[in-house]
Structure 1
Amino acid sequence: MATPDNPLETAHERETHNVAACEHISRTLARTSDKWSMLIVRVLGKGPRRFNALRREIGEISQKMLASTLRDLEEHGFVSRTVTPVTPPQVEYALTDLGREFLEPVRALAEWVMVNSPRMEAARAAYATRRAGQ
């Protein structure tokens, strides 16, 4: 395949590259930007946590969903899992370097949501009013 610097690169090659890039971005976002992943990353941004401490801080997440999301985050390199061999075993979760880098855009998005929540609420109210009038 031609490189972006290659003037002989065809439109088809560029399109194929763009489609592949979009698919990769889509898959990655699906794995990392769901609400539970982002909430877990935000909590772990404050420091390592044990499973039940994470669950308490996050709130409405089920034990099954927390365990599943933590496994996904660990699989993709965002979270590390450390088991301390005591009775009963203690398991602690922490952000990896990749997870700490991901924390930056997560925090930025959370801040954006907080700043823009009133505008979104106003838009929802206006939409509901328009829909009710139809």
Structure 2
Amino acid sequence: MGGGRCLKVAFGMESDEMLIDAHYGDSEFFAIYEICKDGSIKLLEKRLNKAKDFKEKEHGDPRKFKAVVSQLLDVDVLAAFRMGPNFLRIRDKTNKVAFFTRTRDLKLALQRVVENFDELWEQVGEKKRAIEKPIVEE
């Protein structure tokens, strides 16, 4: 990994330069980057979205949500221009942090992650600590 504190971020992509203007699960591929506190940015891989052609029974199908997240188990942050109904499931039921870039331009989206690094780092840490806590039955 790069300089000290780093996050692994998956961007939902339509093309090499543009984030998808649709649901995250409809991305053509995920651009996986390592983004570090020192501002360094490294493309790790482009991962084909195997859930793209998933036949949903309903809009925001929870099975599609599982199919998308299962491809990104090694990622800390899911970055998107926008997300659909499954965004709430990602936020509430996974150890992933969702980040809205508010831009479709990949270069600008990467810069926004760098600008928000400390907050994202903290959110990722909270998610990881919550998972490590033992579940106490009443």
Structure 1 length as normaliser, TM-score? 0.27
Higher strand share: 2
Structure 2 length as normaliser, TM-score? 0.27
The structure, 1 or 2, with the larger RCO (C-alpha pairs under 8 Å, 6+ apart) is 2
